[in-house]
Structure 1
Amino acid sequence: MEWIDAATAAERLGVKPATLYAYVSRGLLTRRHGEDRRSLFEAGEIERLARRGRPRGQPPELVIESGVTALGLDRPYYRGRDALALARTAGFEAVAEWLWTADPGALPAPRGSGRAPAAGRGRSRDGALRGAAAWTCDRDALRAAIEAQRGLPADLLPLDRIQVIITVLGASDSLRHQLDPASVAATGRRLVAGLVDALPRAGDAPARPSGDEKPGGGGSVAGRLWARLCPRPATPALLSALEAALVLLADHELAASTLAARVAASARADPYAVVLTGLGVLGGPLHGGASYGAERLLDEVTEPGRATRVIADRIRRGERIPGFGHSVYKNGDARGELLLALVREAAPGHERLAATQAVLDEVRRRRLPERNVDFALAALTTVAGMVPGAGEAIFAVARIAGWLAHAMEEYERGSLLRLRASYTGPPPERATDDPATT
């Protein structure tokens, strides 16, 4: 059996590499990874598909060329770097800078590269970003975003607050229409900093300006976000798990929210509008909202013995089991495996981990799909004692990095993304002024 690389396979089919991977996602081609992690394709299968031509009965897929993220068998790669390795060694800010700028100095050197980290750059797992632009927000914009939440219900989920905050931050930013890469990266830093710092601290009354808000708040994004989502102080290990979650969720190729964000950017929407577009999609229960469903699932499993009944009741009602299965990673999501391992290491023997394991055991007993990163995220928020909906907020903050990286590509491309429908309705009526009718 002959195996060929992606470039050769695409050339034999007469398609772009992006179309080749679209065929993989549709199940038309299989691939494996070589020892160097390159995608390999079986030559005979490629030849058979070439003889058949493009599959009939299937509308052409929208294929967008992108240099941001590639999806492997069980994990994403950010500009060629393994997201799981980055989650162990780099902080969220550094990974965002890498996605936005592709500057090798932003990240630790890959294993075996022999390259030393750039002096003064990079980030320790529990420290602040060093040598990079500050992640701060203008004081007046921050106060306006806090003030805008004054009349909101105290029990509003964080994701709902985030949409209000970003709207106000965007309206307050006179630089938001500058769409060159450096300006968009600077906007991204201000946006994330303002978003996190405008959220009320967990356990506080609804946010209101206190007169002593500091622009940017100081400290890492993960540390500042923890204080907004959890009333308990963070242990170093749990904070490291949150940092890893932010890195693991920073991007995932053309997920639904990212496609929506790219369409907005192609119309030259400013970065705040791009992020709001992504948020409008992310909150759905089949996307970023799945972690909230998984949180509620774990809340129902008050002790391990309840797992069987809780899962059985959901199946009987015909409901999905949130946090399990993935449209891309059919054999398991390595992001979820790593994050769950970090949570276990951070809180060994925690009572909520026993309930989490009981759910995993019951799902496997029933041969249901494997857990994904949403379930692991729910385990983190549950073990840490975070507020309801914290997982969605973590997902949203993380994915801003990816949305803006994709937006930069669309700004540079400079043309509108225009999808076409495959019309299946009744034949259109002829216009009364159609010459064919007279």
Structure 2
Amino acid sequence: MEWIDAATAAERLGVKPATLYAYVSRGVLKRRHSEDRRSLFDAAEIEQLARRGRPRGQPPELVIESGITALGLDRPYYRGRDALTLARTAAFETVAEWLWTGDPDVFASDHAARSRVRGPEMSGSGARDPETSDGRVRDSEASTGAAWGWARDPETSQVAIAAQRGLPEGLPLLDRLQVITTVLGAADSLRYQLDPASVVATGRRLISGLVDALPALQPPGGESIAERLWSRLCPRPATPALLAALRAALVLLADHELAASTLAARVAASARADPYAVVLTGLGVLGGPLHGGASHAAERLLAEVTEPGQAPRAITDRVRRGERIPGFGHSVYKNGDARGGLLLDLVKQAAPDHERVAVVQAVLAEVRRRRLPEQNVDFALATLAGVAGMVPGSGEAIFAVARTAGWLAHAMEEYAKGSLLRLRASYVGPAIR
């Protein structure tokens, strides 16, 4: 069998590389990865497709050129960098800046900021986060928030907090985030500045405001976005390891190419909608059960299984009803979502003896016994929420805060293009008279 690289395959088909990878995601083409992670294609399969032409029964696919995220075999790459590596080594704020600017100096600044927080004796690899005298965690790995200009803005946050006073108790966190975004936008006189530097500054204010305006369950343990978000989702102080898992989740979920919410956000940005309107568009799509809402469904599944022996019945009931098992399977990663694997490992390492970990293991064992699809990042996110004791819907909130960084990165690409994204319908209605 002869294998050819992506450039050669795209040239033979007469398509752009983005279209080639779209064929892969739709199952039209297969690929494998070389030792240096390059995509390789079966030359015979490419030749067959070239002779056959566009796959029949498939409408033309919208292909958008983007330099932000590439989807690999089991993980995303942010501007060429492995998202799993970034989840282990970088602060969420740093990754957001990388998505927005593509400036490699952000990583040097991240290291310098962490060194200042830790001190020389803690700046080596593998150093653990210290705890304060009251047991709260100072997340030194992620304490770059203030250094980046992600500091709290109490005045703006209070406006968004006040706007929520009339909302019913128990309102989903995702709904609160939509209200907060609307209020923050209305209060920002710079919202219509669409040059790159202004959008980056807006992104910092917006993500900080989204976190700080959520109802506080305890005083924040530090300045990073991860620390501040923890205090909004969990009434208990964070352990260093669980806080590291939350930070990793934010990084892993920061972007995922043209997911449904991101495509919607890009369309809004192409119409020159301001960054707050772009994020509102993304939030409106994110809550769907086939997108960010999947983590909430996975939370409910795990909450239903109160002890490991109940896992078979919970899975059986869903299979009998013809329902999808929430948190399992992925439309892109057919052989497993490495993001979910990493996050799940971090949670299990953080609390190996936790009763919820035993439940998670039982659910995984039952799903595998039935040869159902592998778990994905939504299941791992639900596991984090359950083990940490977070309030219901926390997975969706983590997803939304994280993906705001990606939506704004894609918006900046559309602002730079200056042209309207116009999809076309394939008309199948009554004959035109």
Fold shared by both chains (TM-score > 0.5): yes
Q: What aligned pairs does 1:333-412 form with structure 2 within 5 A after superposition? A: 333-412=337-416
What pairs up with 1:17-416 in 2 under 5 angstroms? Answer: 17-107=17-107, 120=112, 126-129=141-144, 132-136=147-151, 138-202=153-217, 219-416=223-420
Contact 2:192 2:274 (8 Å CA) reproduced: yes
Q: Distance in 2 between matches of 1:194 and 1:160?
A: 15
Aligned-pair CA distance for 1:4: 1.4
* Distance (Å, rounded) in 1 between the aligned partners of 2:2 and 2:208: 51
Residue 289 of structure 1 aligns with an amino acid whose one-letter code is: G
Q: Distance between the aligned counterparts of 2:304 and 2:3, measured in 1?
A: 49
Q: Deviations over 1:149-186 (max 9, x none)?
A: 11112211211111100100000000010111111010
Q: After superposition, what is the alpha-carbon deviation per residue over 1:2-52, rounded to whole angstroms, capped at 9, x for unaligned?
A: 211111111111111011111111211111111111111121211111111
Change (3 A) 1:125 1:149: same
Instruction: Name the CA shift for 1:125/1:370 in 2 (closer, same or farther; >3 Å).
Output: farther
Instruction: Say whether the 8 Å CA contact 1:99–1:402 is kept in structure 2.
Output: yes
The Cα shift of 1:122 comes to 6.7
SS in 2 for 1:37: coil
1:141 Cα deviation after fit: 2.1
CA apart distance, 1:194: 0.8
Q: Secondary structure at the match of 2:150?
A: coil
Deviations 1:47-99 (A, max 9, x none): 11111122233211000000000000000000000000000000100000000
Q: Distance in 2 between matches of 1:125 and 1:79?
A: 25
Verify the 8 A CA contact 1:162 1:195 in the aligned structure 2: yes
Alpha carbons of 1:217 and 1:365: their partners in 2 closer, same or farther (altered >3 Å)? Answer: closer
- Give the counterpart letter for 2:206 in structure 1: L
- Tell me the distance in 2 between the aligned counterparts of 1:120 and 1:248: 23
Could you tell me how far 1:126 is from its partner in structure 2? 2.8
Letter in 2 for 1:12: R
Aligned residue number for residue 14 of structure 1 = 14
Cα-Cα RMSD: 1.8
After superposition, what is the alpha-carbon deviation per residue over 1:269-288, rounded to whole angstroms, capped at 9, x for unaligned? 00000000000000011000
How far, CA to CA, are the matches of 1:191 and 1:377 in structure 2?
23
Shift of 1:423: 1.0
Shift of 1:120: 2.7
Q: Which amino acid aligns with 1:378?
A: A
Give the CA deviation at 1:133: 3.0
CA distance in 2, matches of 1:405, 1:121: 23
For the residue of structure 2 that corresponds to 1:107, the secondary structure is helix
Provide structure 1 residue ranges, at least 5 long, that are not aligned to the other structure.
109-116, 205-215, 430-438
Q: Distance in 2 between matches of 1:318 and 1:118?
A: 47
Task: Confirm or deny: 8 A CA contact 1:149 1:161 kept in the other structure.
Answer: yes
Call closer, same or farther: CA 1:385–1:154 in 2, change over 3 Å: same
Percent of aligned pairs sharing the same letter = 78
Give the TM-score taking structure 2 as reference length: 0.91
Contact 1:333/1:373 (<8 A) preserved: yes
Change (3 A) 1:119 1:287: closer
CA distance in 1, matches of 2:196, 2:361: 44
CA distance in 1, matches of 2:291, 2:42: 33
- Which ranges in structure 2 are unaligned for 5 or more consecutive residues? 116-138
Aligned residue in 2 for 1:434:
none
Deviation at 1:130?
7.2
Which sits farther off after the overlay, 221-230 or 132-141?
A: 132-141
Q: Distance in 2 between matches of 1:121 and 1:416?
A: 40
- When residues 360 and 217 of structure 1 are mapped into structure 2, their CA distance, relative to the original with a 3 A threshold, is closer
Cα distance in 2 for partners of 1:197, 1:244 equals 20
Is the contact made by 2:296 and 2:393 (CA closer than 8 Å) also made in structure 1? yes
| 8 Å contact from structure 2 (residues 12, 46) kept in 1 | yes
How many matched pairs?
410
TM-score normalised by structure 1 residue count: 0.90
Instruction: Work out which of the two has the higher radius of gyration on C-alpha atoms and give 1 or 2.
Output: 1
Deviation track 1:284-322 (CA, whole Å, cap 9, x = no partner) reads 110000000000000000000000111111111121110
SS in 1 for 2:148: coil
